[in-house]
Every structure is written in C-alpha cells, then in structure tokens.
Amino acid sequence: MTMQQTQQIWLKEVECPLCYEEFMTENIWQGKVAVVEEYPDLGKKYSGLNPLYYSVWVCPNCLYADLRGDDFESTGKLNDESFENDYNILKLVKGKVDFTQARTFPAAIASYKLAILTAKHKKKSVAKIGTFNMRLAWLYRSLKKEKQEDKFIAYALKFYLEAFTTEDEPDFGNMSQGGITYLLGELYRRTGDLRQAVNFFQKVVNDKALNSEPKYMKMARLGWESLKDNPKANEPDPDEEQSPPAEDNASSDKASSE
C-alpha cells in the first residue's frame, strides 16, 4: 500500500544523513493516538493505529534507521564503511520489506531491528538498544505473539542492565531514574526473577534519592504488594549470601532432600 496523508498520518520528506538520498516517511499525529490500556511494563494497547509503527525512520536506500527527528539526523560515529560490513543482514531485510510503502507490522519489526544495528554502529547507547528491544516486545504483544514477546523482554532487561554498568549517562529517552528503576523491577517480574523484582520495586518506593514520580511509586507498590507472599520473591540472594545457610534454613532443595 502506498503511503498517503490521512487524518492520522502526515508525510515528511527526509534526507538520509548517510547516503543523502531523499525519501518520504510517515509520521503520526500524537493527538490522534488513542490509548486503550497501559500495561505494567509501560507498554500500551491502542485502538486504531499503533504509534510504535512510525517512531523509527528507515532510509529505503541504505537502510540506515533511527528514532525520528534528531536521532536520525545525527549519525554520530557511524560511517558508510562500518555500516556496509553488515550489508548481508541488510540485504535480507531489503528483499522482504519495502520502506517506501505504508508501514506494516513486518516493516515495523524490521525498523527496530535495523535501528538496533544502527545503534551498535553509532556506538551510541546500550540503553537505547534496550528500549528498541522493549518496543519489539510490545509490538509482538499487540499481535499476541507471546514467545517473541518474552524473548525481547529478556533482551530489553539484559541491555538495560548492561547500560547501567557500562555507560556514565545511559540514554533512557525521557524516562526518569524512578521510572527506569520501576521498569527493571517489572521486567525482572516478567522474566521470573521475583526476588530482584521486589528489590527494584522497593528501591522505587524507599530510595528518596530517586525522587520517583507518584505514578511509579504507585505502580511499584502494587508490584511489591503482588509478590509479598510469594516464596520465590523471598529466596536468599545467591550473590550476596556468601556464608553457608543456617541449619534451620530449608530454602536449599539439596539440603532438605538429604
């Protein structure tokens, strides 16, 4: 389907900062976006068009991809040569998805995968790669593809955590410290590490330095509350617990089966 201007979509001509080809891209009027539901991991269910389809601009010529606007305009350390090393991956996408046409689900998925590739070459932000993976999870959820959703949630968590240890100022977009701390708790909950989930929810509620917004305080309290009586959330931390467990501690399966 060709791109066309509608009540929800406006078209913009963009020049690729890498190959200098000009192309048209779809953009969504934020005022026309209808949110039906917000999930605990901050993903949203929409009626009508899903704005996640349109947030990554992709050059149809060289497949350079990044978030619309300033991020796309600035190529950072990326250059043609380093990008072309991944040309085989690019060609795979290029045969399947046509970015000159209206954005579809497969194109939306491909746009984030290309944006991840771009981010790696820009050496810009591990945190941002986390966010792209998070959005992939939300997109798969919108079509009820649970296995893919779970896979990308685990990736998002991995990259967000890596960002904290490797980057001085991780780029979490407009997410606050309290927000990202809450989200990590929720991602731990979804990947089954309930002890860490509680740990992060508690931080949001108790750590004054985070200055968490009321929204995240409330969501973290709810998350914490829901796990309070779950035995898995109360297991000792294997990394912190260096001394052998006390005799009356029956949390070890091996010890209790002897």
Question: What amino acid is encoded at 213 in this protein?
Answer: E
Q: 3-state class of 151 per DSSP?
A: helix
Spell out the residues 6+ positions from residue 168 whose beta carbon is closer than 8 angstroms to its own.
none
Closest CB to Zn ion among 26 and 41? 26
* Shortest reach from residue 64's CB to Zn ion, in Å: 5
Structure tokens, 24: 């048209």
Q: Are the CB atoms for 233 and 195 separated by under 8 Å?
A: yes
CA distance 25 to 3: 8
Q: Is 114 in the site for Zn ion (CB under 5 A)?
A: no
Closest CB to Zn ion among 9 and 78? 78
Residue indicated by tokens 């060609």? 91
CA distance 79 to 157: 29
* Shortest reach from residue 23's CB to Zn ion, in Å: 8
Closest CB to Zn ion among 12 and 232? 12
Binding residue (CB under 5 A) for Zn ion from 9, 14, 16, 210: 16
* Shortest reach from residue 129's CB to Zn ion, in Å: 20
Footprint on residues 157-196 left by Zn ion (CB under 5 A):
none
* Shortest reach from residue 75's CB to Zn ion, in Å: 10
* Shortest reach from residue 133's CB to Zn ion, in Å: 23
Which of the ranges 13-21, 72-80, 131-139, 148-156 carries the binding residues for Zn ion, by CB under 5 A?
Answer: 13-21
Q: Is 19 in the site for Zn ion (CB under 5 A)?
A: yes
CA distance 10 to 4: 8
CA distance 24 to 100: 7
For Zn ion (CB under 5 A), the number of binding residues is 7
Closest CB to Zn ion among 22 and 146? 22
Q: 3-state class of 256 per DSSP?
A: helix
Taking CA atoms, 258 is separated from 20, 249, 255, in Å, by 70, 14, 6
Closest CB to Zn ion among 51 and 60? 60
Pattern 50-89, binding to Zn ion, x per CB under 5 A? ---------x-xx-x-------------------------
* Shortest reach from residue 63's CB to Zn ion, in Å: 7
CA distance 128 to 112: 11
Q: Would you tell me which residues interact with Zn ion (CB under 5 A)?
A: 16, 18-19, 59, 61-62, 64
